[in-house]
Chain A
C-alpha cells in the first residue's frame, strides 16, 4: 500500500496480488486516501497481533501435548517389547503367537 503526494494532494493505492503479479489499485485521493490508509494500517496491525497470539497459543498447546507423547512412546515401546519377549509377533497390527522353528 502506498500513500503518494502529488501537487500537494494525497493519493492512495493498494497492492493487490493476482497470481504471481502484484497490481497497484487506486483507492482515492485527499481525505479518503488518508482515512483508507490509516484503516489499512490498523487492520494490518490487528492481523499481525492475531498471528502472534495464535502462534503463542499453538506453542503452548504443543508444550502441553509433549509429555503425553513422551509417555505414549515409552508405553508403546515397552508394551511391544513385553509382547515380543513373551513369544508374540505382529501381523497386520495384531499380535500372534510366533511359530517355533
Chain B
C-alpha cells in the first residue's frame, strides 16, 4: 500500500452526518473543469504534438477530455494549435461563435499565440486578434507535458469561474471588442 497518495480535497462547505453542503458555483465549477471536451483546431505541427497528447502515453483523456468533438455545438474548449493564416481567421471566428456557452480557448504554440516565427503578410499575428483567449501555451512546438500544463491551468480557471460570468456586462463588452454580438 503506497503511503503518499494524493487525495483530492473536497470544496469548502459545511458537512454533517451523511451530507455535505456547498455552493452551486463550486460544484458546477468542479464538474465543468473535470470534463472539458476539446474541439481540436489543429492546423500545423502543434497539431501533431496534440495527437501525441491524446495518445496513450500522455493521455489527455484522463483529464476529462474523453470526447474530442469536431462540432463546436458540443465542445467546451477550443484548442487552436498551429499557424492561423489571415485567410483562416474568419473561419476560426465563425467556429468560435458557433460554440455553445460556456466556452474557453487555449492557444497552443507560438504561431497561435503571436504568429511565431512567421511575421509575414499572410500570417495572423496571434489568434487573440479575432477571438478572446483564456490560456496561452508557448512553445514551438510545446511538448505534450506543456499542453497538459496549459489544460490544467484552464481547469483551475474553470473551477473558479462564477456561473453568472457569461451573463455579465464585462463578458459582453469583451465579446463586443471582437465584434461578436450575442444576445
The judgment on whether A and B are partners is no
Give the A-binding residues of B (Cβ under 8 A).
none
